[in-house]
Amino acid sequence: MSVETRNRIRVAVAAYTYEIESRPIMTDADFDELAGRIEPNVTTGKVRLDRFFRDEFSPHTGQWVHKHPDPKGLKRIFRMLTDDFKYNRDLFEPYPAEPEYMVLARNAARFEQQNAAKRAAGEIKNPCRVCGLDVTLNPAFGGCHC
């Protein structure tokens, strides 16, 4: 998915939640900043939506969302966000400033620190023979993730 497509989805859902559902998901300043990055003349391959953003979109207001060609799609994304926000937050967070492998490495280090503390406290009852982590943490994957 291109950055422009992702930003258009984000700004449309944000406008929908504010204008139609009266439940804003971002601050006005964040909306204004995101709306300012939208480039209506960029072609994304979605002809109807490209035409809509070129002809109807205005970065200074969210009123254009009332004319959006896919209101059901916006409502579906809104429901996904409100039903299970923790799994769909990435749509509204900017791309990571650092490479993904660095984020994964930092998370793995944090996870290892937590498990080291649990091992020291004797809370890990079933350690993996390879990595020493608690095998019961990931039963769906055979117990361990190493």
pLDDT at 34 (0 to 100)? 92
pLDDT level of residue 137 (50, 70, 90 thresholds): low
What are the tens digits of pLDDT across the range 10-69?
A: 999 999 999 998 888 888 999 999 999 999 999 998 999 999 999 999 999 999 999 999
Report yes or no on whether pTM surpasses 0.85. Answer: no
CA distance 75 to 17: 8
Encode pLDDT of 93-131 as tens digits.
Answer: 554 455 566 666 666 677 677 777 777 777 767 666 666
Beta partners for residue 138, in sequence order: 143
**Between these two residues, 87 and 121, which has the higher pLDDT value?**
121
